[in-house]
Amino acid sequence: MNITDLDVSLSANFDGHERVTFFDDPETGLKAIIALHNTNLGPGFGGCRFYPYTDHQAALEDVLRLSRGMTYKSALVGLPLGGGKSVIIGNPKTDKTPAMMRAFGKAIESLQGRYIVAEDVGTTDDDMVEIASTTIHVSGLPEDKNFPHELRGNPSPITAQGVISGVKSALIHHFGHSNPQGLRFAVQGLGAVGYAAAEILLQEGAQLIVADLDQVRIDKLKSLYPQQVQHVAASDILMVEADVLMPCAMGGILNDTTIPQIKAKIIAGAANNQLALARHDKLLKEAGILYAPDYVINAGGIVAVAYQYFERTHSNPSKFDLTQSGMRSHVEKIKDTTSTILREAAQYDEPTGLTADRLARAIFQK
């Protein structure tokens, strides 16, 4: 395997990253980048995204953005972890092999515990099992006879729980109550997290407008809640009349073109890096749209995989309650954190993302 440390100081999304490494394994076809943003609080923790990037520069900019977000996310959610992320360049449906994932595990192992991986877009818990055969620095493993524990399994429902906690904080801030009954939510993306979040809202009486590229997911949700679910084309979901817009697909969708067309009063969703550029945080404020910063409210996933990792490796640096109830209690704190951010942003008349970043830096830059 060829290992190259990259000089990314001139990259658009460079933010003082500690180390960015490219791994090229001709035998398996692996081409991957692992980015460590900041490890002041602990090892860099973040998922592996397997995606058919247009070129290496696009992959590099994505991993820089994502790893930075993980530092801020871990700090605000109260985990003794830093920010890291990895990307594998390729089509996960056609290029991925077990041998490639095992090779990727060796790449992680070469960093000697400075990076811990979990699943992300394009990777699965089965991939984590393959990675775990060549490194211990992995989480998000499925529950099986070798790993029997209540914390194991898909973290998506826990992520969705945290997102809804953040949504309810935004509802309180804007409407004065946290009850979603009768309100209209526009959900962009019905993947594992988006679908789980949609079901929670539907069970609490919300009205949903949904969009997804997979019609099967839409049809399933509509069959279960025919009176509460409408759907629109993916190209239209950002512009519909709604109380809350929930981006739960890919990032970068809040930009110069889309923000002036958004009719929702609140934006609060699960997708990472929803702001195309940092300045779009201010643009949302100027448009009168309340934005719940994505890395704050989608942090339930990292809590879940962190608890799994602490339990599996018999390490618990902060002595958390490593049970299902302990983990869910930790995730529920997202509601209070979101409330603090929205309240302080209003107090100082600043964009909410700027407030969240300021509070996070006060934690991890100590």
And the tokens for 12? Answer: 């658009």
- Cα 40 from Cα 361, distance rounded (Å): 11
List Cβ<8 Å contacts ≥24 apart for 307-314.
307/151, 308/139, 308/140, 308/141, 308/149, 308/151, 308/152, 308/155, 309/45, 309/116, 309/138, 309/139, 311/149, 311/151, 312/139, 312/141, 312/147, 312/149, 313/136
Identify whether 265 is a catalytic site residue. Answer: no
Which of 31, 73, 85, 96 is an active site residue?
A: 85
- Active site members: 85
